[in-house]
Amino acid sequence: MQFQQQYHPASASRALAAATLVGMLAIVACSRGQSSGGSATGGAPKGTGGTAGASGGTSELPAGSGGAGGVTSGATAGPGGVAGSAGTSGSGGTSSGGHVGTGGQPDASGSGDAAGTTGRGGSDVRVGGAGGTLASGGTTTLPDSGQAPDVPDAARPTDAVTTPGGFLHVEGNKLLDWRGQTVRLTGVNWFGLETNNQEPHGIWVRDYRSMVKQIADLGFNVIRLPWANQILRSGAKASDSGSFGKSGPDAYDGTNPINQALAGKSPLEIMDKVIEAAGELGVRIILDNHSREPDGYMNEQVWYTDKTSEKQWIDDWVFLAQRYAGNTTVVAADLDNEPHGIASWGKGDPATDWNTAAEKCGNAILAANPDWVIVVEGTEKVGSDGYWWGGNLTGVKTNPIKLSDPKKLMYSAHEYGPEVHDQPWFSDANFPNNLPALWTAKFDFIMQQNLGHILIGEFGIKDRSAMGGRSGVWFDTVLSKLGKTYSWTFWCWNPNSGDTEGLLGYDWVTPVQWKIDALKPTMAPMIGK
């Protein structure tokens, strides 16, 4: 959800940033215009949130602009700033986020109509804290262009195989482990490595390993870890690199000082350490290529940019596949977050067809590391049929993904409620009874017809009572659909995601208990236990 991008036909609000600054938590809100139906153009992000003070800041979000035939609704004001606890380190803060769009609704037969398109946007950014220098030597980074280098043993992470057991694969609509037992991935998104911070958010006030421990203690068995290609480049630097190991204790487990193991580490090496901690605690990792540039989700519609070619995108994935080969903690590669806009499926245009690019990249990864599951998201539009960014898998009906090992394919959709964008189906007289047919048309047919297993890679909620209570009704209906069959990663762990906030409160340690309680019935055991 988070990290989001630029809209075109339909745009939505979703950006709010929160972070510690001289002991106070500042919230900044950005917005994009929202429109439904017709052709509408979302404006550039406008409006700034107030700096949190005793009474909290405020934010003004202007309305979007409607296109021909489009009906435009004004964006609502974001919440004010929330005071943080004193004495935390780092400046600024970021959250990424926002999906939107108006997609086609199913007719009586359950097939999608041609109405609307979707998108989602917004961005929240925690600005860099105190700087610092990276230690010289020992860093494995990908060059700015060209082939991914060989990864010598000495340059590989030292956490080799830490999680008991082996890897995962798909048979029919089920995800199976190395023993042939049915499993599900049920976890959280913890974002930050894809933002300008180039580090998982919250580690300016929490220890990274303590964060992973809390995730495991709450029973989540996987972390979807967003990253941007920029973290692989020489000179990439975490915004709080100069403060690691200089503060503490951690509010959850008392680690003191916090993040000592991250001192002098590059963003890629920080990712290594998060993966190492996850392995030690029995949590699996899905690597999610969220953007090419830090916070690039606002502008990137497809898997390549002017700076990162398709070839470089594939080379970067192969580099990571080789780097973590044999490490059973890293189980899956989510190839590209939320293809949308010009991204197509089965159109016959190699410049925009996401399905052919996904096949090319997935097969390159499997040639380098045959153990990973390849996660392929949907697009926003298939033909004229629209849905959430990354949520439309109707193209699978005519152009299914073909990998060298079909058992290593897992499809993924993103699903959000009316807080993110008030899609027309949320106002349907038959809501929420209309949702199952909608989901069947967009992605659930894959599960129903045993065409594959689905990961709902993002879904989230801030307030059950929002939108006249429709937000909570949608959430309950989604959880009922997930049941004991779907894999999922909740958006998100971080509190600083504008549309949904997260599973932690703004102190970065207190769980939002009602969300945890709602998720628990659909959670699966730790993999291998």
Nearest to 110 by CA among 450, 439, 388: 439
Which amino acid appears at position 78 of this protein?
A: G
Phi/psi class of residue 177: alpha, beta or left (left: φ > 0; alpha: ψ in -120 to 50)?
A: beta
Q: What is the distance between the alpha carbons of residues 32 and 36, in angstroms, rounded to a whole number?
A: 13
Between helix 267-280 and helix 208-217 the angle, nearest 10°, is 40
Q: 3-class SS at 440? A: helix
Q: 3-class SS at 19? A: strand
Q: What is the distance between the alpha carbons of residues 431 and 525, in angstroms, rounded to a whole number?
A: 32
Strand partners, 374: 333, 409
Nearest to 240 by CA among 208, 214, 276: 208
Half-sphere exposure of 211 (CA within 13 A, CB side): 29
Phi/psi class of residue 43: alpha, beta or left (left: φ > 0; alpha: ψ in -120 to 50)?
A: beta
Given a contact cutoff of 8 angstroms between Cβ atoms, the answer to whether 343 and 380 are in contact is yes
Given a contact cutoff of 8 angstroms between Cβ atoms, the answer to whether 72 and 82 are in contact is no
Phi/psi class of residue 116: alpha, beta or left (left: φ > 0; alpha: ψ in -120 to 50)?
A: left
Task: Report how far apart, in Å, the C-alpha atoms of 254 and of each of 218, 257, 259 are.
Answer: 17, 9, 12
Q: What is the distance between the alpha carbons of residues 321 and 311, in angstroms, rounded to a whole number?
A: 15
Catalytic residue, from 194, 199, 276, 338: name it: 338
**Per-residue b or e along 71-91, where b marks 16 or more CB atoms closer than 10 Å to that residue's CB:** ebbebbebbbbbebeeebbbb
Q: Is 471 exposed, middle or buried (0-12, 13-18, 19+ CB in 10 A)?
A: buried
Which tokens hold the place of 61? 């979000």
Nearest to 125 by CA among 16, 250, 260: 16
Which tokens hold the place of 357? 């690019």
310 is catalytic: no
The H-or-E segment that residue 214 falls in is: helix 208-217
Phi and psi, residue 101, nearest 5°? 130, 165
Other Cβ atoms less than 10 A from the Cβ of 521: the count is: 11
Catalytic residue, from 300, 415, 419, 458: name it: 458
501 is catalytic: no
Task: Return the active site residues.
Answer: 338, 458
